[in-house]
Amino acid sequence: MRERILEALIKTSAGHDAFSRLYVRHSMAGEIARNTLLLELPSMPTSEVYSGPLHQGLAVATLSPAARERAEEAVVVNSALWGMLRLGDRVPPYRLSLFSRLIGMDRLDDEWRTVLPDVMASSAGSDGLILDLRSPGYQSIGKPTGLDGRTVTLRVDLGKPGRRIGDVIAKRVRGEAAHYLLESGVEPSGPDELAALLGEHWPVVLSDPAGPRGSWTLTLITDD
C-alpha cells in the first residue's frame, strides 16, 4: 500500500492539476515539487517530520529520557502516505492530505481503511489501553479491529455552552495530554484510571461506549 501511494503521489505532484488533486494552495508549490523527489530526499525521524498542533503539544524533544523511551514504544502516528509510523521510523518530509485524489487511486481514507484496522490491532498487542488522539478525519480510517472495549477516544471541550473550541487548540491540548501521560510513568489499567490520572491536570468527563461496539470517550475541559 505504501509503495502504491508513494508512486501515485509522485505522479500526481508532477501533474498540471496537482494543486486541485492535493487540495493545496499555489503558495505551496515548493512542497509539491519536493513530493516529486521523495525517492531521493534524505529521511528524518518521524518525531521531526510532523509539526502540526498535536505534535507541538506532544513536544517529543522536551520529554525526559524515560518518557521519550516510553513514547518510542507506545506512540503511533497515522500518516496519509505511510499509514502507521513509530516515532523513530525515518521518512522524508512530504505534503499529502488524507482526502487527496491521487492519480489512479480513490480517496486515501478509503484505501487505508482496507488495511489499517487490522494493522492497528496487531500493533496494540493483547492488553493495555489504546488512547485515540486522532482528529475525526483520521478516525474515519478505522479503529483497531475488535478492540473497542480497550479504546478511549480523547476529546477536548471548552465546557461553555454555545462556544466551540477551535481545531488547532483541541489538537494541541490532546498532544499535551499525551505528553503528560508519558511523563507520569503510569500505565492506566482501564478508562477510569486514565480519567483519574488526566483529571489531576484537567477537568474530565468519561462517557461509556455508545453501544456494544463503541469506544469510551474521555473529554478534557480547557479554558484556552
In this prediction, residues 158-167 reach a mean pLDDT of 80
Residue 90 scores a pLDDT above 80:
yes
Q: Is the pLDDT of residue 143 over 90?
A: no
Give the mean model confidence (pLDDT) for residues 157-174. Answer: 86
Q: Which of 168, 171, 177 is nearest to 201 (CA)?
A: 177
Asked if 195 and 202 count as a contact pair (C-beta separation under 8 A), the reply is no
Q: Name every residue whose Cβ is closer than 8 Å to that of residue 218 and which is 6 or more positions away in sequence.
A: 152, 153, 154, 155, 191, 194, 195, 198, 204, 205, 206, 207
- pTM above the 0.85 mark? yes
Range of the domain at 119: 2-221
Which amino acid, one-letter code, is at 53? P
Q: Where are the beta strands (DSSP E) in the chain?
A: 44-45, 76-79, 83-86, 90-91, 130-132, 151-157, 204-207, 216-221
Q: Tens digits of per-residue pLDDT, 204-224?
A: 999 988 776 678 999 999 986
Count of structural domains within the chain: 1
d(CA 119, CA 116): 5
Which residues, in sequence order, are bridge partners of residue 132? 153
| Residue 180: per-residue pLDDT | 98
Flag whether pLDDT at 167 surpasses 80: yes
The rounded Cα 129 to chain-centroid distance in angstroms is: 16
